[in-house]
Amino acid sequence: MSAERTIHFRDGAKICSVIVMILLVIGALGPENWTPRTPLGWRFDHFIGYFGIALFFCFAWPRPFLVGGLLIAVAFLLEGLQAFTPDRTANLVAALCGAGGVLTAVLIAELFIRAWRWRLGGARSVEAGFGPSARPNP
């Protein structure tokens, strides 16, 4: 993929991630029946939901630890704001499940970003005559 395509693709991902964040706020603070649920339980829903959102955000903004810190703060803020809604209650375990999903996604994204950079750096050093593949055999 060319650099120009990647930039446009990332811009689209940034716009979509803002839309996802708006939907997250509506789902968290709107009526309870607006929130999609799985039969696996609310703990899994919080974990996998924030995991997916964090991966998407890390793709749009490739600074995983910054994205992770912000999304963990959002998870706790939204869970705390649920205390002010008539049909919900704030739940620390739900916030921790969401934060766990964010942390898992951030660590995976950081691993992939570092591996990608290492791979690109290794390829450049091999082309220049340096690196592990450029060593002469003894």
- Does the residue 68 lie in any domain? yes
- Does the residue 133 lie in any domain? no
**Which residue has 């997250």 as its token pair?**
24
Over residues 93-104, the pLDDT tens digits come to 999 999 999 999
| In contact, 92 and 43? CB cutoff 8 Å | no
Number of domains composing the chain: 1
Return the minimum-mean-pLDDT range out of 1-10, 13-22, 30-39, 67-76. Answer: 1-10
- Does the residue 29 lie in any domain? yes
Measured CA to CA, the distance from residue 59 to residue 53 in angstroms comes to 10
* CA 67, 70, 73, 79 torsion-angle sign: negative
Give the confidence band of 128 by pLDDT, cuts at 50, 70, 90: low
**Average pLDDT score over the chain:** 86
- Does the residue 55 lie in any domain? yes
Q: What is the rounded radius of gyration, in angstroms, for the C-alpha atoms of the chain? A: 20
- Does the residue 87 lie in any domain? yes
Over residues 44-64, the pLDDT tens digits come to 999 999 999 999 999 898 899
- Does the residue 138 lie in any domain? no
- Does the residue 130 lie in any domain? no
Measured CA to CA, the distance from residue 5 to residue 9 in angstroms comes to 6
Q: For residue 20, give its domain range.
A: 3-121
- Beta-carbon contacts of residue 20 (< 8 Å; ≥ 6 apart): 53, 56
